[in-house]
Amino acid sequence: MFDWPVMDPLFYGVAIPAVLLLGLSKSGFASGLGSMAVPLMAMVVSVPTAAAILMPILLVLDILGLRAYRKDMDMALLKWLVPCSLVGVFLGYLSFKSLDTKTVSLMVGVSTLLFLAQRIFWPTAKLLSQPTRPTGVVLAMTSGFTSFLAHAGAPPINAYLLGLNLAPLRFTSTLTVLFFWVNLVKWIPYAGLGLLHTGNMLTALTLVPFAPIGVYAGVYLTRRMRPALFYRLVHGAMLLTGCKLLWDGLS
């Protein structure tokens, strides 16, 4: 059965900025802001529709990110972060029909703000300033879970990686490779749920040209930015994302 793409101009007025934010986030610059893409688009379409439309765009962004950053990844971290995140994706699939979007937004928003508060006000607390492997396992699974439900996987895993004090390029590259595998695996359950129909895919096709703009702008800035400023921007992105998701969960 053929489904027509979204034709509402208001949708594109919201979706284009959402895709640009997603591109910036995928580049590692302002990491976390991509979690706002689905909530923004959900102002004019349903959350499952927004998430499905973004799937092909995420694939394009992930491929662009891999081309730019694949040489700087931390393979030792990825060997266990990827499997743990995929467990979270599976749990998200099992929970898809029982959890509403507001609940997920509230969970991610609160946890993001708590992680950020710990980084700013209690920087010497060992939980995240000196993160352990068990902490990373929990946060990676949480990241896969929230990524499946609302493409909001960055804030939880950011909270873990920030505590490792990786160089900006290694931080960005590790996130890029991690979410390439997470987003690739998500295609299977999304298809099984009937979300990847022709209407959503054709709508995504109209938005794809905007994806590289955010990525290349972010890559340019990330490669030329001092680490201290880079992490201030990551913290700022986490604050904006946490507040937006908290608002969505409570409204």
Residue 108 clears pLDDT 80, i.e. is over it: no
Q: Are 167 and 119 in contact (CB under 8 A)?
A: no
Mean pLDDT of 228-232: 72
The Cα–Cα gap between 240 and 221 comes to 19
Instruction: Indicate the range of 29-33, 102-106, 112-116, 149-153 predicted with least confidence.
Output: 29-33
- C-alpha distances (whole Å) from 134 to each of 81, 128, 137, 251 are 11, 11, 5, 33
- How sure is the predictor about 159, in pLDDT bands with cuts at 50, 70 and 90? confident
* Confidence category of residue 153, pLDDT binned at 50, 70, 90: confident
Cα 186 from Cα 109, distance rounded (Å): 22
Q: What is the pTM of this model?
A: 0.78
- Higher-pLDDT residue of 180 and 223 is 180
Residue 119's pLDDT band (cuts 50, 70, 90): low
Mean pLDDT, all residues of the chain: 82
Whether residue 29 contacts residue 214, with contact meaning beta carbons closer than 8 Å, is answered with no
- Judge whether residue 111 has pLDDT over 80: no
Q: Which residue has the higher pLDDT, 189 or 162?
A: 189
Q: What pLDDT band is residue 91 in, cutting at 50, 70 and 90?
A: very high
What the block records as the tokens of 213 is 């703009």
Domain ranges of the chain: 9-250
User: Would you say residue 128 has pLDDT above 70?
Assistant: no
- Please give the span between the terminal C-alpha atoms of the chain, in angstroms, as a whole number: 36
Which of 1-5, 39-43, 160-164, 194-198 bottoms out in mean pLDDT, i.e. has the lowest?
1-5
Residue 118 pLDDT class (50, 70, 90 cuts): low
Per-residue model confidence (pLDDT) at position 129: 60
